[in-house]
Amino acid sequence: MKIQKRNLYLSLFLVIQVILMRWVESHPQFVESYYSNGIYPYISSFFRILLGWIPFSIGDLLIFFFIAYSLRFIYILFKTRFKNFVGKLVGIIAFCSVIYFCFYLFWGLNYYREPLSKNLGYQKSKYSNEELYQLSTLFIERLNDIQVQITGSDSTKVENPYSQSEMYQMARQGYDSLALTYPQFTYKYGTAKNSLMSLVQSYNGTSGYLNPLTGEAHVNKRIPKTSFPTTTCHEMAHQIGLAAENEANFVGFLAAVHNKDIYFQYAAYRMAVRYAIFELYRRDPERYKPVFSSLNLGIKKDFKHSNEFWNSFENPLEPLIKKGYNAYLKSNKQAKGVDSYNYVVDLFVQYFKNEISVKAES
């Protein structure tokens, strides 16, 4: 039995890393100060400078290489009848140790930072059904208005005229505007990219993802164009250190709504409406019905088109993939798993608190 000393040391290092991460998990202020607002901005900028100018995804190519290498490894393992299996197993653990280290150093530690609500000075409190109702109607009023401004008719579906490459550049402009009010959301260097795995993402039900090992933000190029701006802004929020999904949703919304382009604003309120009325349906179904009915017909057509797109990719594996992603999120301090996306409504309520209070009184 032959075990390389390097692999043995790296395997032991994995155990040390796991123990260390349990300590890090309980010290969010340390992570916030020394990582998220310390070394991470330099790491993130380095990767965007290094890889941002390349028009295709280096991260996706690494994934393809890893899959091909893994299949080759399995083939050789069976061909040699598991010769030196223990040594090879230790080698796999050593490889996992390196990936684990790179994942948390390059991006993953952001999962353990202070909550965004605390950094923005929001008071953490449960919102009422009335506040949720007022928020939903506020979003719908703005979305209806923008839809009519674009189409000239409340029954016409919005058609986004921009190419994907144009929207990537335009998303930067939204972040530039947002940074004037919130400097912590400054985005420099590079843009998001089309995913080389867009077809796979469509089948597993995802619109985009961040590769934590290369710092590249990817967008599923097949998704409906009306949601493309907010998906792009969401993935860019991950790049600047917002790991939690609800926080990336919120910052992505802010970047889109601060954009001067009306199609980005439409996408922002489109996303906000979907999250708000879904939560209203869950908490107060009777109030949901008239709220949904108040949406312009053109917006309902847009939502229907989006639902038809995702329904066309339904498959037996999708629930299993979502379970795996759910477990991944829960293991990284997002207790609600995939439901964490919906918790953006908490941040919406805090951000629009004054407006919905005035709306309720009027």
Confidence of residue 125 (pLDDT cuts 50, 70, 90): confident
Q: What is the mean pLDDT of residues 54-64?
A: 95
- pLDDT confidence of 110, banded at 50, 70, 90? very high
The whole-number pLDDT of residue 39 equals: 97
Distance in angstroms (rounded) separating the CA atoms of residues 270 and 276: 10
For all residues of the chain together, what is the average pLDDT?
92
pLDDT value of residue 4: 83
Residues of the chain with pLDDT > 70: what percent?
A: 93
Segment 215-243 shows an average pLDDT of: 97
User: What letter does residue 194 receive in the DSSP assignment?
Assistant: E
Question: pLDDT tens-digit profile of 142-197?
Answer: 999 999 999 999 999 999 999 999 999 999 999 999 999 999 999 999 999 999 99
Encoded tokens for 201: 């993402």
The owner of tokens 């017909």 is 297
Q: What local confidence, expressed as pLDDT, does residue 192 receive?
A: 96
Note the pLDDT of residue 334.
Answer: 62
Q: Could you give the dihedral angle defined by the CA atoms of residues 273, 127, 241 and 319, in that order, rounded to the nearest 10 degrees?
A: -60
Reported as a single tens digit per residue, the pLDDT across 3-31 is 788 999 999 999 999 999 999 999 999 99
Query: Alpha carbon 104 to chain centroid distance?
Result: 17
Asked if the model's pLDDT at residue 60 lies above 90, the reply is: yes
Residue 208 dihedral angles phi and psi, to the nearest 5°: -175, 175
What is the signed CA dihedral for 200, 206, 211, 212, rounded to 10 degrees? -140
pLDDT tens figures, 297-342: 999 999 999 999 999 998 887 777 777 766 766 767 665 655 555 6
Residue 209 three-state SS: strand
Q: What is the pLDDT of residue 187?
A: 96
> Looking at the predicted structure, is the pLDDT value of residue 2 above 80?
no
- How many CB atoms lie under 10 A from the CB of residue 55? 9
Contacts of 14 (CB under 8 A, 6+ apart): 93, 94, 96, 97, 100
Q: Is the pLDDT at 360 greater than 70, yes or no?
A: no
DSSP E strands, 153-238: 193-194, 208-211, 216-219
What is the residue extent of each domain of the chain?
5-112, 120-361
Where does the pLDDT of residue 358 fall: very low under 50, low under 70, confident under 90, or very high at 90 and above?
Answer: low
